Amino acid sequence: MIRRWPQLGLPLLTKELIEQAAQRRTYFVRLLYASLLFLLAYLEFEQILAVSGSNALAMLGKGTDMFNQVVNLQFLGILLFLPSLACGAITSEKERDSLTMLLVTRLGPFTILFEKLLGRLVPMFTFLLLSLPLLAFAYSLGGVSTLELVSGIAMLIMICIYVGSLAVMCSSWCGSTVSAFVSTYAIGLLSYPFLVLGSMLLDARFNTLATGSFYYAVAPIELTTDSLGKLWVQVTVLGVPSLIFILLGRLFLVRRAHVIRRNLVLTLFRRLDRFFFWLNEFTTGGVILVRDDVQLPDDRPITWRETQKKTLGTTRYLVRVLVSIETPLFLVLAAVAGMAYQARLG
């Protein structure tokens, strides 16, 4: 009998990467990230090399500053781009009502969460690969040890895992992508003191840094270090919360799969509609100048639904939204004009 081994594939990850490759936004974001990275790196490198002047030998040893600048730029890029890339991992399935179909497949909840996380981390890792030429140039100038090079790459990867797992956890809990995006940044800021506390406790335990250092209280995570013990401490500080976020995301994935989404914009429009309806009844007695067409479409039903039956597809809502936006703007401009007139007279 021929024994067939199971195929160890990642179908959901493959689906995520194929969908991202088919989107024009993927290449636009990649181009934007690369442009910002190389532009800012060029400006930083120019300032560092300008001190050396035309002496080529004076440039030797300047690789440390350049290497640190590249790692810092990548760190800022992770904080800026990764939450927006990962916060819709689960909420996009909820908004399309396809999460239930995923849960009834042979893929378990943890597998779904893990592959969703990988589907967001793989594009971010490709962004990190963009800095390899810059890192190689900085390393060639000297001043950067092998351990510092490894620690910089390792810390960037751990920060990606930390931010990505936090975003996926928020995506498992929230019902919309916007709320998951806001929650990711909010929880990230709230978790910062715990990172400081964990770093100081582990440093005091392994004697890698003096406890109570002001610098370490401000920046608990050093992106580059020449101490192997400090590197393990920082990997632990980022790795343990990441594991907790993944476990919580696994718990929320099933329990919050059918969470009721709250559309705050629609709620605002309904309150605005009630206010204008009351204002119309109070001032004109309920006179309606423009009535919305309620005829059914002969063809193109989806276009009719999106343009005629949506909230912003009706004339009265367009007028009311315009009035709501222009009225505060008019009041502000009137106040500014009045202040300018008083200043000119005085």
Side-chain-side CA neighbours of 129 within 13 Å: the count stands at 7
Q: Are 81 and 33 in contact (CB under 8 A)?
A: yes
Q: How far apart are CA 253 and CA 119, in angstroms?
A: 16
Q: What is the mean pLDDT of residues 185-207?
A: 79
The rounded distance, in Å, linking the Cα atoms of 180 and 116 is 15
Collapsing DSSP to helix, strand or coil, 55 comes out as: coil
Q: What is the predicted pLDDT for the residue at 212?
A: 42
Choose between 211 and 64: higher pLDDT.
64
- Comparing CA positions, the residue from 150, 151, 120, 125 lying closest to residue 246 is 120
Q: How much helix, strand and coil, in percent to the nearest 5, is found in the chain?
A: 75, 0, 25
Question: Which H or E run contains 203?
Answer: helix 192-206
Rg over CA atoms, the chain: 27
Q: What is the pLDDT of residue 166?
A: 94
- What pLDDT score was predicted for residue 118? 92
In the chain, pLDDT over 90 holds for what percent of residues?
13
Task: Give me the mean pLDDT over the 268-278 stretch.
Answer: 75
Rounded to 5 degrees, φ, ψ at 123 are -60, -35
- pLDDT tens digit sequence for 235-263: 888 899 999 999 999 999 888 877 766 66
Q: What angle do CA 224, 228, 231 make, to 5 degrees?
A: 50
| Cα 58 off chain centre by | 40
Q: How confident is the model at residue 6 (pLDDT cuts 50, 70, 90)?
A: very low
Domain boundaries, the chain: 11-255, 282-345
Instruction: Quote the distance between the C-alpha of residue 296 and its chain's center.
Output: 41
- The SS3 call for residue 246 is helix
Instruction: Please give the Cα distance from 66 to 138 (Å, whole number).
Output: 6
Tokens of 11: 């179908």
Q: Supply 334's token pair.
A: 């009137």
Rounded Cα distance, 38 and 41, in Å: 5
pLDDT in tens, 57-116: 666 767 788 888 888 889 888 988 899 889 888 988 888 888 888 888 888 888 899 999
Residue 217 pLDDT class (50, 70, 90 cuts): very low
Is 121 a residue whose pLDDT tops 90? yes
Query: Which band of pLDDT confidence, cut at 50, 70 and 90, is reported for residue 146?
Result: confident
Asked whether the predicted pLDDT for residue 268 surpasses 90, the reply is no
- Sequence length of the chain is 346
Element (H, E) at 211: none
Buried b (16+ CB within 10 A) or exposed e, 295-313: eeeeeeeeebeeeeeeeee
- Predicted TM-score (pTM) above 0.75: no
Q: Rounded to whole angstroms, how far apart are CA atoms 190 and 345?
A: 50
Question: Residue 212 gets which letter from DSSP?
Answer: T
Looking at residue 211, its pLDDT comes to 42
Count other C-beta atoms under 10 Å from residue 172's C-beta: 30
